[in-house]
Copies of this chain bind each other. A is one copy, B any other.
Amino acid sequence: MTTDQNRPAALGGPPAFPDGLPLTRVRVPDREGLLGRLGAVLDSGMLTNGPLVRELEERAAELMEVPHVVAVSNCTAGLMLVLQAAGVGDRRPVLMPGFTFSATAHAAHWAGGTPLFAEARERDITLDPADAEARLKAADSPAALMATHVYGTPCQVEELQRVADAAGVPLVYDAAHGLGSKRRGVPVGNFGLAEVFSMSPTKVAVAGEGGLVATRDAALARTLRTARDYGNPGDYDTLFPGLNARMSELHAAVGLTWLADLPERVAHRGALVAEFARAVAGVPGLRLALPEDGDTSTFKDLTLILDPAAFGLDNRQLAAALRAEGIDTRRYFFPPVNRQRAYAHLGQADDLPRTDRLAAAVLTVPLWSQMDPATVRRVADAVVRIQPFAAELAAGTARG
């Protein structure tokens, strides 16, 4: 029995988390203060798009050091309205990474564009500017360039802007994960035509459901304020087909509570990731999705990038081994969007070999803002303990 103590749970050892460890936990900061605020919203009778939405926009603009923030119902709706305002339509191509969340492509589709997928960078799995440039050049009348700050890792914003300018298209960021990220000290929110953030429950700052659009373009911000209210400038004579993309006062109240200590929360997550990185240093075939030196990631996700040949397991096999330890994981993002059934008709499934390789290499492990260092170390230790048994585990998987 003693030898089993050091074996992975999948091979008879004791599980690292007998009670299970979820991928994320949502704990509301300042519960009582928030309930007081929600009560005040109910009493005011103004339940949507009121003073708390304004306050949230102002607070977010301060945090991002950007002149305009427009709150919306969610990130997807924000992207749709930005792409509409940017002139996407007529099914023209919108270049975007294959390695992103499906909503990036869905927003382009709903706005009337056609997704055109490009490769990810090996280093951090954000959009590869060189590949994007080549595909934009080959595209017929492209309408826009989109990029995603994957897991909160800032994109190569300088290169991407150059690529967009050369192609003569607007650059729009899916910054769903990026609220609190910084590129060379400049907060995400300041890049491209606009950046669109998510405040849905898995994010580092949560509004229940919600999104924010940050832009330096005053005219765009005005358009978006009209667009989120049906395109109605106030006299019900709509200017264009808008959406109901209003954020409710209830969600704004929740979002304000989460924004209050966002910088501290991002710093704590960074410290947890550093702790994890130290604990897994030296494990063959394993690295983390990290921002470049001098950049800040929100670490919305703590994601491992495997070299399956060196590590001995691919992400699906490691996920199974960690599940036996009680540790929940996700393959974010798998399948890449260009392989999803929604876009099969575009015929781009086999166009991104590097993205395919990376999508088989990534595994997101549990992380949340109130996690303690001991827990993150215990997750790392489980990975460290598993790797020497990779061959045995892989054989088991193959047999299973």
Q: Are B45 and A35 in touch, CB under 8 angstroms?
A: no
Let me know if B244 and A209 touch, CB within 8 A: yes
Identity of the chain B residue whose Cβ is nearest the Cβ of A337 in the assembled complex? B238
| CB-based contact A250/B254 at 8 Å | yes
- A248 contacts chain B at the CB level, 8 A cutoff: yes
Interface of chain A residues 204 through 252 with chain B (CB within 8 A):
206, 208-209, 230-232, 236-244, 246-251
Find A230's partner among B35, B102, B208, B238 (CB 8 Å cutoff).
Answer: B102
Is there a chain B Cβ closer than 8 Å to A342's Cβ? yes
Q: How far is the CA of A299 from the CA of B195 in the complex (A)?
A: 41
Whole-angstrom distance between the alpha carbons of A199 and B231 in the complex?
20
Expressed in whole angstroms, the Cα–Cα distance for A109 and B243 within the complex equals: 10
Residues of B near A101 (CB, < 8 A) are 230
Q: Which of B110, B209, B341 contacts A110 (CB 8 A)?
A: B110
Judge whether B241 and A105 touch: CB under 8 Å: yes
**A112 contact set on B, CB distance < 8 A:** 112
Asked if A74 is at the interface (CB within 8 A of a chain B CB), the reply is: yes
- Hey, which chain B residues are within 8 Å of A77, CB to CB? 77, 243-244
User: Smallest distance from the beta carbon of A253 to chain B beta carbons, Å?
Assistant: 9
Q: Which residue of B lies closest to A208 (CB)?
A: B248
Q: Which of B25, B35, B244 interacts with A38 by CB under 8 Å?
A: B35
Task: Tell me the minimal C-beta distance from A355 to chain B in angstroms.
Answer: 15
Q: Known contacts being A239-B341, A244-B75, A251-B248, is A27 close to B45, with CB within 8 Å?
A: yes
Asked whether A45 and B26 contact (CB < 8 A) given A105-B241, A208-B250, A334-B236, the answer is: yes
Q: How far is A75 from B110 in the complex, measured between Cα atoms in Å? A: 17
Contact assessment for A237 and B42 in the assembled complex, using a CB-CB cutoff below 8 Å = no
Tell me whether A200 and B250 are in contact in the complex, defined as CB-CB below 8 angstroms, given that A25-B45, A31-B43, A102-B230 are known contacts.
no
The DSSP consensus for interface residues of chain A is loop
In the complex the two chains form, what is the Cα distance from A121 to B334 in whole Å? 52
**Chain B contacts of A250 at CB under 8 A?**
38, 208, 250-251, 254
Please indicate the chain B residues that have their CB under 8 angstroms from the CB of A331 in the complex: 236
Let me know if A106 is at the binding interface, CB within 8 A.
yes
Contacts A200-B48, A201-B48 given; indicate if A236 touches B102 (C-beta within 8 A). yes
A34 contacts the other chain (Cβ, under 8 Å)? Answer: yes
Q: Is A262 an interface residue, CB under 8 A from the partner?
A: no
Does A46 sit at the interface, judged by CB under 8 A? yes
A231 to B344 Cα, complex, angstroms: 14
- The answer to whether B244 touches A76, judged by C-beta atoms less than 8 angstroms apart, is yes
Interchain residue pairs with CB less than 8 A apart (20): A26-B46, A27-B45, A28-B45, A31-B42, A31-B43, A34-B42, A35-B38, A47-B201, A47-B208, A76-B243, A80-B110, A105-B241, A109-B241, A208-B248, A208-B249, A236-B335, A237-B339, A238-B340, A238-B341, A242-B342
Q: A45-B201, A237-B335 are in contact. List 14 more A-B contacts (CB 8 A).
A: A28-B43, A35-B38, A35-B42, A47-B254, A77-B244, A102-B230, A102-B232, A102-B238, A106-B230, A106-B242, A110-B241, A200-B244, A238-B340, A242-B342
